Amino acid sequence: MRSFLGLILISMGLFGAEVVQVGDKFKDSTKCKACHTPIVKQWEQSWHAKSHYDSDEYFQKTIDYVARKDNRKSLNTIKIECATCHNPRISVTSTNAEDEALASVGLDKNSAATKALKSDGISEGINCVVCHNIDQIHDELPENKRGMNRVTWMKSGTMTGPYGDAKSPYHKVEPRDFMDKNPNQLCFVCHANDKSEDGHSFVNMQSEFKSNGKQCVDCHMGARTQGVAATLRLSNGQAHTRMVRNHGFTGGHIEAMWQDALGVDVKKGKQTLEITLSNPQPHAIPSGFGSREILIEAQYASGGKVVKIEALSLTSKYLSKRDKPTIPHLAVKTISSVSIPALSSKTFVLPMPTGAESVNIVVSYRLVNDEVRELLDLKDPIWSKKMVIKKLNLKL
């Protein structure tokens, strides 16, 4: 046993994972903040800034759940696989049999993988140097090559952006179309197809996307407004005013995002309500990480008193290889998937109790459905919060 472990430790000393070089001058946002204060402050409030294991409860508990249920891989290996998108500037990009052997006997505390995962350089998740240090995006690669596997990085010290005339005394600047003319290409580096540990595709936002003239950034970064990208003063003593987008990356966790996001039309039948949801957005709703949910709730009343409540959940549910309910990342099968496709509509029918005089209808959105929230034991109220899309009152 000792000789076996000794061989493992020797081979680990020779371990040479692909290392992504980022100079200390550029690896964290505090360096960027000196010249790009407004943008960095916006980014600090975004979920991109919280994509690290230590900062996102859903991400953390998903990884822990996978590690408990799937004994083929160590916790470190799963973290590094997920880092492909969540921490793409990690210095160790894969593990091997020696890593797994060390982890199985608890001797991986000083391994290259453990040190990389604890590095301050990745603690900010998707920070400035993730997006603004990409040289090329390789769409010719198969769709399973995502995140760090789909891009080529610039040399440390060269940043990419949307402006052809940008200059800085601190780093080189080069324009790229994916920062301006084709921003969807940059978003779909990561926000594209998600597959489980067993290769089951549980969502593919890129394939479901239907252009209606909108780019991802039009909703998630907002319209360009006049502002300052860099606070460096020019020869006239003023900073360069430009048309810039917000870097808060507004998403499904922001309640205001959902107000009137879907059209809602209600028709009364003899003993039913027909509720039609229309989706004007370029991607399906719900979409995202597979456990998102739209709730339709109807509260019937008679004589001023509630007589019946009916509810319908539009979400996806999954089975594990043991035919038990599971999280999308361990699924081998999707057993139900209900969403409104992009630029389309669907009609749902709810029963109407006899004698009801009126009905209050609330259509809302939740980040995580009841099943997955319970499986992961998520505590933060954000995961169960109902974000109202539309409220209607109808006399019957």
pTM for the predicted model, two decimal places? 0.90
Q: Which of 186, 358, 203 is nearest to 266 (CA)?
A: 358
d(CA 222, CA 185): 17
- Per-residue pLDDT tens digits for 275-287: 999 999 999 999 9
SS3 state at 109: coil
> 13 or 256: whose pLDDT is higher?
256
d(CA 162, CA 95): 36
Q: Is the pLDDT of residue 181 over 90?
A: yes
The kind and range of the H/E element at 180 are: none
Categorize the per-residue pLDDT at 299 as very low, low, confident or very high, splitting at 50, 70 and 90: very high
Render 21-89 in DSSP notation, one character per residue: ---TTTSSHHHHHTT-HHHHHHHHTSSGGG-STTT-HHHHHHHHHHHHH-TTS-HHHHHHHHHHHHSTT
Quote the pLDDT of residue 14.
33
Residue 384 in tokens: 């169960």
Percent of the chain surpassing pLDDT 90: 80
- Cβ neighbours for 122, distance < 8 A, ≥ 6 positions apart: 52, 83, 87, 89, 90, 116
Render 319-353 in DSSP notation, one character per residue: E-TTSSEE-GGG-SEEEEE--B-TTEEEEEEEE--
Mean pLDDT of 44-51: 96
What structural domains and CATH numbers belong to the chain? 16-244 (no CATH), 255-395 (2.60.40.10)
Categorize the per-residue pLDDT at 235 as very low, low, confident or very high, splitting at 50, 70 and 90: confident
SS3 state at 2: helix
